[in-house]
Amino acid sequence: MSVLTVNPGSGSLRLHLVEDERVLDSAEIGHPPGSDEGDPEIAAFLDRLPDSLDAVAHRLVHGGATLLTPTVVDRRVRAAISAATSLAPQHVPATVDLLDRLSARLPAVPHVVCPDTAFHAHLPEIARVYPLPEQWRARWDLRRYGFHGLSFTWAVRRAGDLLGRPVDDLNLLVAHLSGGSSVCAVARGRSVDTSMGFTPLEGVMMAKRSGTVDPGLLLWLLREGKLTVAELETGLYERSGLLGLSGSSSDTRDLVHAARDGDVKASFAMAVFAHRVRRELAAVAASLDHVDALVLTGDIGWDQPEVAEEVATGLGVLGLRGGLDRHRDHDAVISPPGAVVPVLTVQSREELELARAAATVVREAAPTR
């Protein structure tokens, strides 16, 4: 099947034409999704699409309480997507905008929305619940959702391939490290704990997002009139993380080079990032009875060997060690031979997982003859 995959980030848009797990064409639009600046590039890509397109797969960061699986978009689904806007305000509005635009351009093709939260839809209740008043939880469905599910799904499948073992026989720690970062404990192919929760703000420190901070600190800032709600939201989502600590960049590639040149703040930001990743990995590891491997994915997990080394070296308590292979250009086991807990690096291929999910949904929805 030929599937157009639509993957909006907070500041860019990735489009891929995928056929049978092969990327035939792609474009990265370096403008915020939903903005008019990228329209000519989007139109040029759409003009190259074949007439035989079978589906359009849209990545949806937050599916809310109702969108728990990849689903063909209809009016009900479109309304459910819009209802989740406040849960991920940096991401969902772009999906809504792109869905409307592309549905108008490609009205005869089924559009499938693929929630990043779907992978965590069956988290154990003890991992999903927030210890908040019952009335709050019931009224507003306050719970932990988890994110980066498309990336985790692909990484778990590839880990099984690399280790030569069935996925349902593996207990894995998986870290998706990129502009947005989270970690996950996977037991026999299922998510059993993860670092992100109700929104994509909890857990690991990220490029511009703070990750977990003391909620009492946030209450103090608001109660004492130090910041408005809008200022607090902007600060937590756009001015924190690596950017907030370094004061210079949110990109680990820039910070690694700056640290080598003696930039103390850059070095400190990278050290805190590695510490926060280790801390979250150790936390979710408590949901496993053993660890078969650590899988690193996402742009940083795949292509930043300094981070991989720092993370593995600092997790000796879990049986991990450093000395990782820094020179590879393919998915691989990068720990030394005989490592008690192997370390793997897997390139994030959300476009392939999007295409796989959409193709499955469209085939299941097709009338039987």
Contacts of 166 (CB under 8 A, 6+ apart): 160
- Is 168 tagged catalytic? no
Please provide the size of the chain in residues.
369
Which of the following is catalytic: 20, 74, 97, 116? Answer: 116
Helix (H) and strand (E) counts in the chain: 14, 12
DSSP-derived pairing of the beta strands 182-187 and 190-194: antiparallel
Instruction: Supply the pLDDT for residue 106.
Output: 94
Distance, CA of 247 to CA of 208 (rounded, Å): 11
Distance, CA of 20 to CA of 356 (rounded, Å): 8
DSSP-derived pairing of the beta strands 343-345 and 293-297: parallel
The low-confidence residues of the chain, meaning pLDDT below 70, are 367-369
Instruction: Supply the pLDDT for residue 368.
Output: 54
Q: For every residue of 3-56, which 3-state class applies, written as one string?
A: EEEEEECCCCEEEEEEECCEEEEEEEECCCCCCHHHHHHHHHHHHCCCCCCCEE
Return the sign of the alpha-carbon dihedral for residues 214, 219, 220, 221. Answer: positive
41 is written with which tokens? 């590039």
Q: Which of 81, 24, 29 is nearest to 58 (CA)?
A: 81
Helix (H) or strand (E) holding 72: strand 71-72
| Amino acid letter, 50 | P
Distance, CA of 358 to CA of 352 (rounded, Å): 10
Instruction: Supply the pLDDT for residue 299.
Output: 94
Helix (H) or strand (E) holding 94: helix 92-105
264-285 and 305-313 helices cross at what angle (nearest 10)? 50
Distance, CA of 247 to CA of 266 (rounded, Å): 8
Q: Which of 344, 293, 295 is nearest to 319 (CA)?
A: 293
Q: In what order do the strands lie in the sheet with 55-60?
A: 22-29, 13-19, 2-8, 55-60, 111-115, 71-72
pTM of the model: 0.94
